[in-house]
Homo-oligomer: A and B are copies of this chain.
């Protein structure tokens, strides 16, 4: 009942980065060994939203166990840019079919079950998943994260087929995450567990040298004394305070230039005021 059969993973378009976009160390072939299995999904919109959630984290292998309606326009609308994940989704009739070939599976459940085996928080579950993915089995085996139907989640019999039960910490009074939101959290945790938690960083500009910074403080002291804000007889902790502030920030060369420009502006004003006083006296 496979709709489309194409080799995973999805090809990645070339990166057009603005700023510094840290690429990450996770190989696409590792992510392609992760199945997201949605069992008896009622609303096709949730399938599309789950596909989008998956693809934001680099997951591309979606398996649907007898969804109410699929393909469906609502699914495509919610998938946004992740329509290829939808197009490659496999539809199967039963959970055993969906899990065939998997060496490790986690069934997600918000609802406590009396008869579950190992129950792990989402973070611990995906860390175990990441260790499985790192195991050098040949040929490499898939793992699966399994999510039940919207209203009631996985049945006890479905959950019993999974290696572990996984659960997302939540408000005990309202633990009902939207299906795609649960997929988002699980996929996000997996990406981080796989060491792909790198994020963009703003570029750092040239740092100021020690002597540039010391000249700044010397200038600051001179100007603040000149204008009377700093009393050399009772300096209190004014300069140490300023040093502490700028040390925390880590000064860049350009920033030192700006601050010294402001001090120079004050010097000019002080000079002008002194001239003014002189000429008033001279009159």
- Which A residues form the contact surface with B (CB < 8 A)? 12-13, 15, 17-24, 49, 52-53, 55-58, 80-82, 111-117, 119-121, 123, 165, 167-178, 180-181, 184-185, 188, 191-192, 196-203
Contact partners of A115 in chain B: CB under 8 A: 202
Q: Is the interface of A mostly helix, strand, loop or mixed?
A: loop
Contact partners of A58 in chain B: CB under 8 A: 170-171, 173
Using A121-B199, A175-B56, A177-B184 as known contacts, say yes or no to A112 and B18 having CB atoms under 8 A apart: yes
B200 touches A167 (CB 8 A): yes
A114 touches B199 (CB 8 A): no
Q: How far is the CA of A198 from the CA of B171 in the complex (A)?
A: 10
B169 touches A198 (CB 8 A): yes
Partner of A172, one of B21, B81, B192: B21
B177 touches A53 (CB 8 A): yes
Contact partners of A192 in chain B: CB under 8 A: 123, 169
A176 touches B56 (CB 8 A): yes
Contact partners of A119 in chain B: CB under 8 A: 199-202
A19 touches B202 (CB 8 A): no
B112 touches A197 (CB 8 A): no
Smallest distance from the beta carbon of A186 to chain B beta carbons, Å? Answer: 10
- For A18, give the chain B residue with the smallest CB separation: B112
**A119, A121, A174 pick with most chain B CB within 10 angstroms:** A174
Using A119-B199, A169-B24, A199-B167 as known contacts, say yes or no to A112 and B175 having CB atoms under 8 A apart: no
Partner of A180, one of B20, B23, B165, B181: B181
A56 touches B199 (CB 8 A): no
B17 touches A202 (CB 8 A): no
20 extra interface residue pairs, beta carbon distance < 8 Å, beyond A58-B171, A171-B191? A12-B173, A15-B172, A17-B112, A18-B114, A24-B169, A49-B181, A52-B177, A53-B178, A55-B171, A81-B174, A112-B200, A113-B202, A114-B203, A117-B202, A121-B198, A169-B196, A170-B191, A180-B181, A181-B181, A184-B184
